[in-house]
Chains A and B, each alone.
Chain A
């Protein structure tokens, strides 16, 4: 005998009492259902054998034999069964027609990465100017850790002098810059040298840079902006790269801040620090990942995303709350993250009209649908620039999180 009420936040002790009273009356009356509150009431009619229905979704293709789901004609209602809800049993609810949609195969095999024309997605990245100051402690190491990883050779070979990937026969590209339209904010540190609040012996070896918005002091270029196509172009059949990529952490900073990942590509999460970190991802379409990455783990823990994500996935370390990075997971290579000059170049696009998303971690969306027409044999150029309030303003989704105090 339960008093069922969904709107619990508006529930008061008074009404709880009346609810109980109702329940009590029901008990006395020996009846099976009870009343409460304003909106939703569960019918305890359930379980009395009075059938309320189950039907099957139309979309289901012919169900497998074992699950024969012919629905018997509804039982004629008897006079003593008034509580059956509307959609049930006086007139036969027509069997939901079974549509001829064959369900898609459930398991998508990891793509066999036949080595395909590799499209370099990131423009050349010289060591960032806003790289954190050199640490005093393990000097040489820092340099190595925070400098960008060398490009893999195939990418390098395909680079033209200008740093942009060469366009393959019959394809075009989209390139440009993203600029901050105002006085560039000076680079800031989250924690000054030696001031990291946890594990200062390791995390304090450098000043922890604030990377939420990195603006080039000389040319106003904005670093770490993702430019990408939300869906792969129709007819695109490329396969993901075979090589795994590395996602690293050193001095309690993730590296790189922005990582582009292809679906089913293995990301090796490594750790150069002599302490454990945990890498915790918050994807929307993939299962979350929250694993400890052992101290000085140079082999790496594999992380893969099976499905493309619409927006970059936030990655954090719960043990060092300032650590943050983003993974952009796509099932195509038409994406880039801007370099320290705010430049990007996306190559290999079949000619046509596209709409790109431009995303920076602080405001979220900068462009929801940036239309770009691509012609064969050339890069379509766009110089994008946004005012400071665009970078401050929030435009993307912000989930509402309800904080319920559980008292203790």
Chain B
């Protein structure tokens, strides 16, 4: 600890003296990757590097439905070109309405590409560095690359590094430096699971869902709204980058899952000890190598295909939760029906959210099992947990704060599709009448106002008497 602080102070000094030095940001590895035997860990690292790159040198894998930003070019004619000042070209920009070439480059031929260092949109004058060697004539055609392929991903990265990284971490693992002070913790994207979506319970988040989260923020948590910061292209770029990180993380997790079964450190140790298997470490390594040689390309391809399919499907209108009926007025009757459903054996909302809706149902006192453990491991403390292993509470419905959005349709979607990555199931399957879900929505939305509404109280009492018999 001390040593670290000395280092930090040294960094401080260095920063003070020399301005900021060269620092590199890195995608950190998932714990599951570092739990693999070193040979397998290396393979995962190589694959990640090859297909996703580093934060500074990103790689876009076109297989995924991510908008990386296609190259944008425009072809213009040369108006004048002075050989003596070959860095200066005047172009006929009349053909291009948005003649903004800052950061672009000029392509004289496939091989000769020059970076535009500055330009004057009004006159069409463009300066390049170093000077152009080719002899351009008036009337020659040149191609201006206004945006390089992948510009959107790059922009998303830049914005992410500015606005999100301190909470969500460089690799989207939810472990940025601020995270430790936050409750709930920032989302770890690497499972590819997002909680608040408009898709049915088995599907991933659609772009619009991520955009909505960014637009509205997550009420009642530290996740801020970026409504004013991310506008137009920037919003799309940001959503693209979140998807990029989620895809990268899930790709890593899936490779880990694939290798971890036979080649995690623990399993290897156990296999060596196992008298029946009679295998040495060297043999395990050889077995792994030959498996890699024969299976890796297929494995990588099919893993990516799975991810590409899943993300693609999330955009389909078929998997969007759309109520078949319009919302009925929140009349006392509808609220009372909702309340009855809330308490009923058909939903058991009260098991988690409590009879009075304070989020203190019976389920919060039971011991839950960790997902995917064989034999099941039970969490040390009672209560509910999400798929990330974080303790969560069923929402206190009196707070009137809805993380996934407070429009009635948002709450409809939460109830119909459930909250992904949490124990709250989708009820669209059991309440196959959308009218019932709307009654629940009306009830849920009335809870925060319960105490001042005698009418509702009356209705509630009636229902309570009705159900408790």
- Chain A residues at the B interface, C-beta cutoff of 8 Å: 2-6, 8-12, 14-16, 18-19, 21-22, 25-26, 29, 31-44, 46-47, 49, 51-60, 63-64, 66-73, 75-76, 78, 82-85, 87-88, 96, 101, 103-104, 106-108, 197-198, 212, 274-276, 278-280, 282, 284-285, 287-295, 297, 301, 306-307, 310-311, 314, 316, 318-319, 321, 324, 361-364, 368, 394-408
Contact = CB atoms under 8 A, between A and B. Distances in A.
Nearest to B10: A35
Contacts of B212: none
B105 interface: yes
Interface in B153-184: 153-154, 157-159, 161-162, 165-166, 169-171, 173, 175-177, 179-180, 183-184
B306 A71 contact: no
A51 B103 contact: yes
A397 B264 contact: yes
A85 B61 contact: no
A47 B161 contact: yes
B428 A291 contact: yes
5 contacts: A8-B180, A19-B177, A54-B153, A292-B429, A307-B306
A67 B149 contact: yes
A85 B24 CA distance: 8
Contact of B5 (A15, A52, A280, A288): A15
Contact of B372 (A31, A37, A282): A282
B386 to A, nearest CB: 11
A53 B58 CA distance: 6
A314 B5 contact: no
Interface string B126-156: 0001100000000000000100111101100
Nearest to B184: A406
Contact of A49 (B103, B260, B374): B103
A212 to B, nearest CB: 7
Contacts of B225: none
B59 A26 contact: no
A interface secondary structure, majority: loop
Given A36-B8, A56-B149, 18 more contacts: A4-B25, A4-B166, A4-B176, A5-B176, A47-B158, A54-B59, A78-B117, A78-B129, A85-B56, A87-B54, A96-B59, A280-B425, A285-B254, A287-B204, A289-B201, A289-B202, A290-B425, A404-B185
Contacts of A11: 177, 180
A18 B5 contact: yes
B430 interface: yes
Interface stretch (B340-348, B397-405, B441-449, B456-464): B340-348
B348 A276 contact: yes
Given A18-B12, A69-B70, A73-B113, A53 B374 contact: no
Contact of A22 (B11, B105, B162, B165): B11
Contacts of A31: 15, 19-20
Given A11-B180, A289-B202, A397-B267, A319 B107 contact: no
B310 interface: yes
A69 B26 contact: no
Contact of B149 (A19, A42, A68, A73): A68
Contact of B62 (A19, A32, A60): A60
